[in-house]
Every structure is written in structure tokens, then in C-alpha cells.
Amino acid sequence: MLHVNNFHVNVEDTEILRGLDLTVNAGEVHAIMGPNGSGKSTLAQALAGHDAYEVTDGTATFLDNDLTEMPPEERARLGLFLAFQYPVEIPGISNAYFLQSSLNEVRKSHGLDELDALEFQELLAQKMELVNVPMHFADRNVNEGFSGGEKKRNEILQMAVMEPKLAILDETDSGLDIDALRIVSEGINNLRDPERAFVLVTHYQRLLDYVKPDFVHVLYQGRIVKSGGPELALELEEKGYDWIREMNPA
Amino acid sequence: MTQVAEHTDRAQYQADIDTLAAADTNDTLSALRDAGAEKFSEMDFPHYKEEAWRHTNIKPILKSTFRTHIGASSASVTTDDLAAHSYTKDGLVEVVLVDGIFSSELSSLDTLPDGVVISSLATSEASMDLLGELVNYTNAFVALNTALVQDGVCITVEKNTQVDVAVHILYVTTGQANTATHPRNVIVAGESSEFNVIESYVGLNDESETLTNGVCEIVVGDNAKVTRHKVVSEGASAHHLMTTQVTLGRDSRFNAFAMTLSGQTVRNELCVKMTGPGGHCDLNGLYLNDGDRVIDNALFVEHASAKCYSRMGYKGVLDGNSTANFTGMVLVPQDSQQTDSDQLNNNLLLSDKAVIDTKPQLEIFADDVKCTHGATIGAFPPELIFYFQSRGMDPLTAHGILTYGFAAEVVDAIEVEPLKERLADYVFTKYSPN
Ligand SMILES: Nc1ncnc2c1ncn2[C@@H]1O[C@H](COP(=O)(O)OP(=O)(O)O)[C@@H](O)[C@H]1O
Ligand SMILES: [Mg+2]
């Protein structure tokens, strides 16, 4: 589904990703872990198409489409979803309206009929139940006045509505208390599907107790320096990121 | 050149003043007109060099000649013509004036609750003691309005009366080329009363150049609450100048919404004087500008008493070559301690060629005050646009939705539901991408 080869990405003329390789197949859950500043968000943003992240070498394909020249909205319509580490607030626009517009853009691109407000309302209610967010999320402006935890849960709701093929969750678990983490994890698990893949970018092993990954990768200084199964996350938890630093001296 | 142009202009106004004076109307307004005429003869039109008018380009108004409608309009207006602007179907009380003159056929006053009296200025004796008592001749246009006043609306709300239904005053300009109307309203809310009013200024013709030169006087009694909505939907070639002067008693509350949707030149001047402690005024505005139009909001709030609160929250969306000007002056004299005042003017520029001049200003002479002011001018941050893109929406769609959201924030604060809905639809249709 996703093939990333020798991926090099610059931010403001500084090379952040330096030859990263990653392959994700349908149905798989990958965790990408790494210390702060290692390039996790850079990978997520570059795959989503943020133009501050310049791909200088390598390839990235998603469902056999070359991502590197594709506008972000087309990536989203193809089924690539990014849950932001820091979701923005959108004044004056209700969540319901935002999500309805979003879903309809995706549906249009697939030649499907747009949903009217009533049809969408019904769908939204189902999705809200599925990922366990309160009804007042619908009428509130997108992320405006939301707590950190509410913003993360709102990203999960958006994912539920958009039904992506590949969801990249950038530290969706950071800053959540244990109850919120449980709700978010359940939301993710409820969306697991043989047709859908997840890339969980996380700093902490904690999330992986709730959402079991098939693969764990360690990202350090712009490269994947170690890959393994779920046990790698536990080993990291035990030994700390210094272990990685020592293995990969600058 | 300007001198000559202004002279010509005055000649037509003077001729109309003379015509009205000569007519044997036995009109109760004639004394007021005489006073206005005298003032008018003493005053010059505002000069662009005057700070308060620096950005209101009134040259086109001074260069053109506007003949004032004398008596009832010859144009016929039907309820169908008004359908898009009327709120009678929503149950509101409605007073309609066509080219400045009250129309009893088009008005719907049947549902007027007890305790409220609405009258046409031309026929009401009662209004006389109120009219003109309040007005300050802040500029020559106010004097001109007074000199040529023929009709308008007077509303009095009795003490302790809570009026649940909003009153809609609808001024319609039929749009005979180069004509002027001079709307005049007086609203007096008695002690502990509560009242909602909508004033709409609607042009039915986009081609002809017309002038609406209005004055509105509002008295909010002690402990009373008045919410006033002004909606400017003038024709595309119309000029609209209006001065509103408001006096607040102690513990009173004045909420205002100034919504400018259309018109070639629009100036909303709003002067509020807070005369007793506990006064509270909340002044909101939205202006949607495009083409080569000019919109000016000039606000003056005088904290003439201690312990009052005032807030200004104005937002503008500017496209094309349009120009907007915001002046927000708050005056706090030395004795007005414990004043609390906030001013904010946020502008969204959709084009490089649009011009905004924003001047939140404070003149504070007291020392125990809390005043803030600020202004923002800008476009949407790229992070916001990217967020939309990551959800499948292209940048054009993102801009449309965000612009709608920016403007909708002002609309959402309106409590008269049918008005809120109609304005939200308007903003949505104007900016939404589909
Ligand atoms: N938009 C940006 N502008 C400037 N520098 C950035 C930007 N994004 C990331 N960086 C830099 O790239 C490096 C990697 O950051 P990031 O990908 O956010 O790491 P992580 O998510 O692993 O903590 C850091 O040194 C960071 O300062
Ligand atoms: Mg990060």
C-alpha cells in the first residue's frame, strides 16, 4: 500500500530525513518510535504533502500513485489520513460542517453522490458512537476551545468519518490521561480492518499496550535504524532512547 | 474644482429646503427643519483632510447632484418587491418607508404589543418633544438631514415593558437616479424596558446613483436594554451616510450590530454616550466589501460616567479594490474611574489591492481604568489551509469556508433568529465555494 524508498526530506534547507525506507501493507499496524527531533513528524507531514517539507531524493508511492508531486487534498481523497500532533483551531466553522465538506469532497472524487445535511447527520452520529465522542463535538467549532485531549479525540473522529485506507497518527497518544488514552485506543481498534493500515507515530510505548502493532520501527536522525516486532517497543521502554543513541553515535 | 462642485451640490439641497419651507403643509416638522437649515447654512461638508473622514471618499457624493424626494414617492412598490427583505412572515412588526415616506399599506403593525408606540414622524405630534433634542450636529450631513426631514419613525417603549417581538424598520429606496432620502429615527426605551429593533436600508436598483442620508437617535433609559441591528443592503451605486447617536442611562445596556452588505459608499457613524454608572454597551459590526466600494465605520464612545463597560468588535472582509476604514474612539474623562473597555477590529484581506485603515483609539484621562485595543489584518495562515487539504478540500474551498466562518462569528451573536438565519445564508452564499 505504502512504499517509501531512500526518502530524503529537507526543511528550510536542512536535511531531516536521510534515506528512509518503509513498506506498509493493507491490514498492518506499524509503530514508529524515536526520540524528540528524530524526524517522526517530518515523515508524517511529508507523506501528507505539507509544502514546507521538500522531498529531495527517493520515492514514495501510495496505492501505486507517486506521492511526491501530488497535492495534499488528492492524497487525502485517495485515502491517506494524517492525525496531527498539533491540530489547528478553525474559528467559526462547526465540526459537523467541516466534516461534511470533507467527506463530500472525498465522495465527489470517487464519483459518489454528496450527502446532504440530514444524511450526514445520521452518519456522523454513528461515527461519534463508534469512537466514543460526546454529541457536543458536532456543533462546536473545529478544535476551538478544545482541551489537548479533546483535540486528539477529534482527530480520531475525523478519521472515522473519512474512512481512510492508511492512517498516520502523529503522537495522538501524547498528553492523554489514561482514560482518554483508552478511549482513543478503542476508537482506533474499532476502525481496524483488513483493508486499512495504520502508522502509529509515538514517543511512548504505552499506546502499544492498547493497540497491538505488527511492526515497530525506531527512527533516529532521519533514518529507520532498527525494526522488529512488538517486543522491540518493550525493549525500548526498558532501555530508553539512550540505548539507540549509543548504538548510533553522531 | 471641489469648491465649484460643492457649490452646485448645495444649490440643489438649498432649493429643496426652500421648496419644503414654502409648502403650506402645517407640518409639525417645519420648526425642526428650519433649525436644521440654519445649521446647514453655517456648516461645510466634511473635508477629506479631517481625521474622522479621511478615508470616506465623499467626493463622488459632493460632485453629484441629488434631488430630494418631496412627498410620497411616485414609484409603486409591492409586497412582492419587498419579499426578500421583509420579516412579516417571521412574525416581526414591520414599518416600511418608501423613498423616505411611511407606507401604511406595506407596513404590518397589527401585532404590536402593548406598551410600544410606533408612529410616522410626519403624522405624530408626540414625537416632537423627543426629536432633535438629542442630536449633535457632528457634521453637515446631520444638519442636511434635519433641514430636509419629512418623515421617519418614532418608537417609544413604556417603562417596565419587555417587548418580545422585534420591530423591523425597512427603508426602501426605489432608485430614481440622483435622488436623495433623509431617513430619521427616534427610539426611546423607558426605564427597565427591553426592546429589539432591526433597521434595514435596502436599494431596489443597482444602476442609479442615490443618496441615503440618515440620522438615528436612541435613548436607552435607566436599567433598560436595547438591541439595535442595522443592515445596509443599498443598491450597488448608492451612497449611504448615517449618524446614530445613543444615550445610555444608568445600569442600561445597549447592544448593536452594524452589518454592511452592499452600497458604493457606506459610512456608519455611531456615537454612544454613557451617562450613568453601570452602563454597558456592546458594539458589533461586520462589513463585506468588494469591487471599488468604500465602507467606513466610525465609532465614538464617551464614558461620561464612572463604572461603565464598552466593547467594540468589528470584522471586515475585503476583496477587489475595496477600501474600508475603522475608527474606534473611546473617551474616558478624568472622573470616569473604573472604566472597562475593549476594542477589536479584525480584517481579512482577500486581495492585494484591497485597503484597510484601522484606528482603534483611546483617550484616557482617568487613572483607574482597564482598556484594551487591537486590530488584526491578514490572510489565513498556511497551516490552516493545509489542515483543510489534509481532509480532502482544495485551497479554494478552504478559503471559502474559512471566510464564511470568519464572518459568521459576528452573525452568530445575533439573537433575532430570522435575521441571524438570513444573514448567515447571505454570508454563506457570498463566500462558500459551491
Ligand atoms: N516546520 C519546521 N520548520 C523548521 N524546522 C523543523 C520543522 N519541522 C521540523 N523541523 C526540525 O526537524 C527536526 C525533526 O523534527 P520533527 O520531525 O518534528 O521531529 P519529531 O516529530 O521526531 O519530534 C527537528 O530538528 C525540528 O527542529
Ligand atoms: Mg513530532
Residue A12 CB–ligand 1 contact under 6 Å: yes
Over its length of 250 residues, how does chain A's per-residue pLDDT go in tens digits?
A: 999 999 999 999 999 999 999 999 999 999 999 999 999 999 999 999 999 999 999 999 999 999 999 999 999 999 999 999 999 999 889 999 999 999 999 999 999 999 999 999 999 999 999 999 999 999 999 999 999 999 999 999 999 999 999 999 999 998 899 999 999 999 999 999 999 999 999 988 899 999 999 999 999 999 999 999 999 999 988 888 888 888 887 6
Note whether A47 contacts B: Cβ–Cβ < 8 A. Answer: no
Q: What is the pLDDT of residue B58?
A: 82
Mutation site for A-interface testing, chosen from B315, B385, B391 by largest number of A Cβ within 10 Å: B391
Q: What is the pLDDT of residue A85?
A: 94
**Which residues from chain A sit within 8 angstroms of residue B401, using beta carbons?**
93, 97-98, 101
B4 falls in which pLDDT band (50, 70, 90)? very low
B73 falls in which pLDDT band (50, 70, 90)? confident
Query: Is the CB of B390 less than 8 angstroms away from the CB of A76?
Result: yes
Q: How many whole angstroms separate alpha carbon A73 and alpha carbon B394?
A: 6
Q: What is the pLDDT of residue B129?
A: 67
Query: Is the CB of A162 less than 8 angstroms away from the CB of B412?
Result: no
Task: Please report the DSSP string for B284-350 in residue order.
Answer: EEEEEE-TT-EEEEEEEEEE-SSS-EEEEEEEEEE-TT-EEEEEEEEEE-TT--SEEEEEEEEEEE-
> How far does the centroid of ligand 1 lie from the alpha carbon of residue A41, in Å?
7
DSSP-derived pairing of the beta strands A80-83 and A166-170 = parallel
Atom of ligand 1 nearest to the CA of A45: 17
Atom of ligand 1 nearest to the CA of A219: 22
SS3 label, residue A83: strand
Atom of ligand 1 nearest to the CA of A35: 22
Query: Is the CB of B386 less than 8 angstroms away from the CB of A106?
Result: no
SS3 label, residue B92: coil
Q: Which of A90, A98, A184 is nearest to A145 (CA)?
A: A90
What are phi and psi for residue B178, nearest 5 degrees? 55, 40
- Tell me the HSE value of B139 on the side-chain side, using a 13 A CA sphere: 23
- Length of chain B equals 434
Residue A44 CB–ligand 1 contact under 6 Å: no
Please tell me which residue of chain A has the smallest CA distance to B387.
Answer: A88
More confident residue, B334 or B47: B334
Minimal C-alpha gap between A74 and chain B (Å): 6
Note the pLDDT tens digit of each residue in B313-331.
999 999 999 999 999 999 9
Cβ contact B233:B98 at 8 Å: no
Query: Is the CB of B393 less than 8 angstroms away from the CB of A49?
Result: no
> How far does the centroid of ligand 1 lie from the alpha carbon of residue A39, in Å?
6
**Which residues from chain A sit within 8 angstroms of residue B395, using beta carbons?**
73
Q: Which ligand is nearest to the CA of A85?
A: 2
Residue written as grid cell 481523497: A77
Minimal C-alpha gap between B395 and chain A (Å): 9
Cell of B74: 411616485
Note the pLDDT tens digit of each residue in B218-251.
999 999 999 999 999 999 999 999 999 999 999 9
Residue A222 CB–ligand 1 contact under 6 Å: no
Whether the pLDDT of residue B1 is over 80: the answer is: no
Whether the pLDDT of residue B27 is over 80: the answer is: no
Count of CB atoms within 10 A of residue B222's CB? 18
Q: What is the pLDDT of residue B125?
A: 65
* Mean pLDDT of all residues belonging to chain B: 91
Q: What is the pLDDT of residue B59?
A: 83
The shortest CB-CB distance from B401 to any of A51, A84, A93 is to A93
Q: What is the pLDDT of residue B402?
A: 94
Q: What is the mean pLDDT of residues B264-277?
A: 96
Residue A52 CB–ligand 1 contact under 6 Å: yes
B25 falls in which pLDDT band (50, 70, 90)? low
Q: What is the pLDDT of residue B128?
A: 62
Whether the pLDDT of residue B26 is over 60: the answer is: no
Note the pLDDT tens digit of each residue in B159-218.
999 999 999 999 999 989 999 999 999 999 999 999 999 999 999 999 999 999 999 999
Q: How many whole angstroms separate alpha carbon A21 and alpha carbon B274?
A: 69
Query: Is the CB of A77 less than 8 angstroms away from the CB of B392?
Result: yes
The shortest CB-CB distance from B409 to any of A51, A92, A162 is to A92
More confident residue, B90 or B373: B90
Query: Is the CB of A101 less than 8 angstroms away from the CB of B393?
Result: yes
Query: Is the CB of B386 less than 8 angstroms away from the CB of A93?
Result: no
Note the pLDDT tens digit of each residue in B112-165.
999 999 999 887 765 566 666 667 888 899 999 999 999 999 999 999 999 999
pTM of the model: 0.88
> How far does the centroid of ligand 1 lie from the alpha carbon of residue A213, in Å?
25
Q: What is the mean pLDDT of residues B66-80?
A: 87
Please tell me which residue of chain A has the smallest CA distance to B410.
Answer: A92
CA distances, B349 to each of A80, B52, B273, B321, B402 (Å): 32, 23, 32, 10, 12
ipTM exceeds 0.90: yes
Size of interface A-B (CB pairs under 8 A): 74
Whether the pLDDT of residue B8 is over 60: the answer is: no
Residue A36 CB–ligand 1 contact under 6 Å: yes
